[in-house]
Amino acid sequence: MITTEFVATGTDVTTCEACWRAPVEAARVGQGPRTLLCLDCAEASHPARVDLFPPLGVYGLTAAKVSMGKHAGGPPQLPPDPGPALPSPPPTPTPGRPPV
C-alpha cells in the first residue's frame, strides 16, 4: 500500500530510496519496513535500491555469503608462488638507518 500521509521521524531519509534524486513524497508500507519514495517511483512500483540493515547485516547479505568467509575452507594456505625464501640468518640492522 502506498500512502502520501505518513509521519516522518528525525532519522528518516529525505531522498527517494529508489532513484536517489527526488525528495520523499510517499511511503510504501506493508511487507517489511516502509520504503520512502518520490511520487514517480511510488506510482511505477520501483523497489528500494539498498536495504541498509536487513536481518543478516548491511547491503543485502544472504545467509550463504555470511557463512562463507575468507577462511571457510580451513586454515589459511600459502599462495601458489610464495616468492624466494627468507635469508638465514636474517641480516643485521645498520645503526641509524631503518631496515629496507
Instruction: Please spell the DSSP secondary structure of 10-69, one letter per residue.
Output: TTS-SB-TTTSSSBP-EEE-SSSS-EEE-HHHHHTTPPPS--SS-TTSSSS--HHHHH--
Task: Determine, yes or no, domain membership for 36.
Answer: yes
Along the 100 residues of the chain, how does pLDDT read in single tens digits? 777 777 777 778 888 988 889 999 998 887 767 888 999 998 998 888 766 555 555 555 455 555 555 656 666 677 788 788 888 888 777 777 776 6
Q: Grid cell 575452507 — which residue?
A: 73
Q: Grid cell 502506498 — which residue?
A: 2
Task: Determine, yes or no, domain membership for 28.
Answer: yes
The predicted structure's pLDDT at residue 96: 78
The answer to whether 35 and 28 are in contact (CB under 8 A) is yes
Task: Determine, yes or no, domain membership for 34.
Answer: yes
Task: Determine, yes or no, domain membership for 44.
Answer: yes
Range of the domain at 18: 1-48
The predicted structure's pLDDT at residue 58: 54
The predicted structure's pLDDT at residue 49: 77
**Overall number of domains in the chain:** 1
Task: Determine, yes or no, domain membership for 18.
Answer: yes
What's the one-letter identity of residue 57? G
C-alpha closest to that of 35 among 60, 55, 15: 15
